[in-house]
Amino acid sequence: QSSIYYDRDNTNFYLDPAFNTMPYSAAFAGPAGFFGAGVGQIVLNSAGTYYGNISNPSSQVWALGYSPGGTNIGTPVLSWNTSGNVGIGTTGPGYPLVIKKDGAVSSGNWYDIAQFRDSSANKGVDLGYDNTSQTGIVAAGSASAANNLAFWTYNGSAWGERMRIDTTGNVGIGTTGPGAKLQVNGDVYFSNSGTNDSTF
């Protein structure tokens, strides 16, 4: 196992005391990093145009990013803090996972922010928003196959499906195959402020 050592003038770092350098040239850039004076960072240089960067943008926060020049972190991509919170597109995640990033066009006004799918990309869930209004979108993810969106809950002893929106837009409660816009298998209770209540 190797340890990382800095040289005396902080211009390079090494994998062991014999001064075997990293495969990529590396320089310590600070204190005037992208995130403000007094912040140190490590810039990893490759043969390409962009430089990778590990930075400490603020107290108890670390970030990974890249820049075309290598002198600053430029664009932070991923950050984390001592609370265990992770941020994408932000260096101040206040919750376990925070994504602050414009989505990519999926279909029409639907912009996708996150995809949770299997290896075929035909089973899963997508999260996004309508780019023309203040409307969030939860979608059954699929690259090509028709899909359904199901809602499951735990009743204390077993998990089970409770409601489904099928590929045609029909909604089923207590059934996985709704044959109309709304199909309910079981009793339905309607109430009008406690008067004229009805059960079907």
Q: What is the pLDDT along the chain (200 residues), one digit of tens a residue?
A: 445 544 445 555 444 444 444 433 344 443 333 332 234 566 665 556 667 777 777 778 888 887 776 555 567 789 999 999 999 999 899 999 999 999 999 999 999 999 999 999 999 999 999 999 999 999 999 888 899 999 999 999 999 999 999 999 999 999 999 999 999 999 998 887 767 777 76
Q: What is the pLDDT of residue 198?
A: 76
CA distance readout (Å), 167 to 66, 141, 147: 41, 12, 5
Question: How far, in Å, CA of 3 to CA of 15, rounded?
Answer: 5
Q: What is the pLDDT of residue 160?
A: 97
Q: What is the pLDDT of residue 1?
A: 43
Residues 6+ apart with CB under 8 A from 128: 103, 106, 110, 111, 112, 113, 114, 136, 137, 139
Report the alpha-carbon angle 193-199-200, nearest 5.
Answer: 140
Q: What is the pLDDT of residue 174?
A: 95
Question: How far, in Å, CA of 52 to CA of 45, rounded?
Answer: 7
| Beta pairing partners, 125 | 116, 140
Q: What is the pLDDT of residue 129?
A: 97
Using alpha carbons, select from 34, 33, 52, 56 the residue that is nearest to residue 43. 52
Q: What is the pLDDT of residue 197?
A: 72
Residues 6+ apart with CB under 8 A from 149: 125, 138, 139, 140, 164, 165
Q: What is the pLDDT of residue 115?
A: 95
DSSP label of 78 = E
